[in-house]
Amino acid sequence: MAAATTPAATGAAPQASASDIPSVDRVLNLADIKPLLALYGRTQLTAALRKHLDKLRADALAGKLIPADVDDSQLIDILEKQLAAASRLHLRALFNLTGTVLHTNLGRALLPDEAVQAVVSALTCPGNLEFDLETGGRGDRDSLVEDVLCELTGAEAATVVNNNAAAVLLMLNALAQKKEVIVSRGELVEIGGAFRIPDIMQRAGAKLVEIGSTNRTHPADYANAITARTAMLMKVHCSNYAISGFTRSVEVSTLAELAQPHGLPVTVDLGSGTLVDLTQWGLPGETTVRETIRQGADLVTFSGDKLLGGPQAGLIVGRADLIRRIKKNPLKRALRVGKLTLAALEPVLRLYLAPKFLAERLTTLRLLTRSQTAIKAQSERLLPVLQNALGTHYAVTAEAMSSQIGSGALPVDQLPSHGLVIRAGNATNGGKRHGRALDKLEKALRQLPRPVIGRIANDALWLDCRCLEQHDEALFSTQLQGLST
């Protein structure tokens, strides 16, 4: 009779059986498990343990279980990693090295310290959200920011909702439901995420009247479209694209002249509206909200988290009688903002009252106005750190590049910047192997404790340093040193 074979005799790895798997109670009574119990609690730890032991039983039935899998120290190590991963918040801080300052997918504008402290206070203390401290009666939450908004824009009144799309929706529903709204065909933009002006108008219950052509619209186009059913003349700022060449659009002042004899309001969706002249800091020019009001707009809608540099919000400013009608609309309550948005918005708006310090104190403007010289010096400091972390598999260079403002603001304008460019292997490598190496590195950067987000283009991974502020540079460098590719 032939001798029975064993794992040792055949050279196969030793196996463990289901009977070797410890019970839940035995693991929970281990001395080394107590720190996890103290940190995560018995309920969460037990659930994770049961799930892992079920996996081990399945491995045993498949003949894949080995003694190391049921070792106490390995069990505890696995549980610790699983619980840490499960407890990690989904919304995490990261490094934005994409070159897009107002990146929609990364949260758009970063708030200045004044706004952060105001939000902390609103989170931890009761506040007068809708309480009038003068009279002791119920107040209006819009009053917390209305005065400063009117001072900054020259408007008579103001209200705030969740975002600019909500502002447009509310304005149209309140003033143009079952009526006609005249808009130039060249201004029927898609706001983002497939949200289009015609769709919003339809949901608001208004009827869109398109006039002009894609590239040219004349005053007569508006005048000829006005009927007894017209509710307003609407102008939409094309902030996320530009048409050049043989073009013409109608100014707000001309629209105001056309609308006045008919008693019609002129409304302007300014999109990423700015409150100040950006050219004073060497940035591309953009029509301000105040200028739009001065030109004759009766209502202006714009975002809070784009060029304004504040929290996500939609702001509506303009004539007091129209704002009152908007605020009486039932949708206003559904679209209103909470205390945290208002807490953040007010200090941001108040920074604009001292424009001399704005480029220093407003985070968005500070990032947009960083000099290429300063960014270059930073990227050159970081180059040896990153090259040392990546070794010889990648080549890192510090190079000039272009940033963009983002979020539909000034789409064709770019800002001179500098950063790190990573290429895989040597100059002779390329093709799919080259691309896989860059994809692997890009994923490794995203899996760091504080993820690093760059962009892949032209067979290289680009890390634009414009949004890497000096106070974050040390942490960024430390993470690079622990990078594993």
Q: Is the same domain home to 462 and 330?
A: no
Single-letter amino acid code for the residue at 458 = N
Q: Is the same domain home to 153 and 185?
A: yes
- Nearest Cα neighbor of 171 from 312, 104, 266, 258 is 266
The alpha helices in 285-371, defined as continuous H runs, are 289-294, 320-328, 331-335, 339-351, 358-361, 363-368
CB 450 within 8 A of CB 95: yes
- Nearest Cα neighbor of 104 from 164, 149, 152 is 164
Q: Which of 329, 360, 391 marks a domain boundary?
A: 360
Q: Would 3 be classed as within a structural domain?
A: no
User: β-strands 207-211, 455-457: how paired?
Assistant: unpaired
Which residue(s) pair with 269 in the sheet?
236, 301
Q: Would 1 be classed as within a structural domain?
A: no
- 106 DSSP assignment: G
Q: Which of 360, 381, 406 marks a domain boundary?
A: 360
Q: Would 317 be classed as within a structural domain?
A: yes
* pLDDT of 481: 86
Which residues lie closer than 8 Å to 334 by C-beta, 6 or more apart? Answer: none
Phi, psi of 410 (to 5 degrees): 45, 65
Q: Is the same domain home to 319 and 193?
A: yes
Q: Would 2 be classed as within a structural domain?
A: no
Q: Is the same domain home to 31 and 180?
A: no
User: Is residue 131 classed as helix, strand or coil in its secondary structure?
Assistant: strand
Instruction: Quote the number of domains for the chain.
Output: 3
Q: Would 188 be classed as within a structural domain?
A: yes
Between CA 385 and CA 390, with CA 389 as vertex, the angle to 5 degrees is 120
For residue 416, the domain's CATH number is 3.90.1150.110
Q: Is the same domain home to 162 and 209?
A: yes
Q: Is the same domain home to 120 and 269?
A: yes
* pLDDT of 3: 45
Between CA 422 and CA 468, with CA 409 as vertex, the angle to 5 degrees is 35
What is the tens place of the pLDDT at every residue in 183-224? 999 888 776 666 788 899 999 999 999 999 878 899 999 999
The alpha helices in 7-106, defined as continuous H runs, are 7-10, 24-28, 34-40, 42-61, 72-87
What span, in angstroms and rounded, lies between the C-alpha atoms of 164 and 141? 18
For residue 272, the domain's CATH number is 3.40.640.10
Q: Residue 150: is it exposed, middle or buried by C-beta count within 10 angstroms (0-12/13-18/19+)?
A: middle
What span, in angstroms and rounded, lies between the C-alpha atoms of 112 and 427? 43
Q: Which of 296, 326, 360 marks a domain boundary?
A: 360
Q: Would 265 be classed as within a structural domain?
A: yes
Q: Is the same domain home to 284 and 195?
A: yes
CB 75 within 8 A of CB 27: yes
User: Is residue 35 classed as helix, strand or coil in its secondary structure?
Assistant: helix
Q: Would 32 be classed as within a structural domain?
A: yes
> Cα separations (Å) of 130 from 127, 136, 138, 195, 325?
8, 10, 6, 32, 20
What is the tens place of the pLDDT at every residue in 153-194? 999 999 999 999 999 999 999 999 999 999 999 888 776 666
Q: Is the same domain home to 378 and 273?
A: no
Q: Give the residue ranges of the chain where pLDDT is below 70.
A: 1-13, 191-194, 239-247, 407-412, 426-432, 485
First CA to last CA across the chain, in angstroms? 53
Q: Is the same domain home to 281 and 370?
A: no
Q: Is the same domain home to 166 and 136?
A: yes
What span, in angstroms and rounded, lies between the C-alpha atoms of 402 and 169? 35
Q: Is the same domain home to 79 and 127?
A: no
Per the structure, the complete domain to which residue 445 belongs is given by 95-104+366-481
Q: Is the same domain home to 34 and 72?
A: yes
Q: Would 50 be classed as within a structural domain?
A: yes
What span, in angstroms and rounded, lies between the C-alpha atoms of 144 and 122? 13
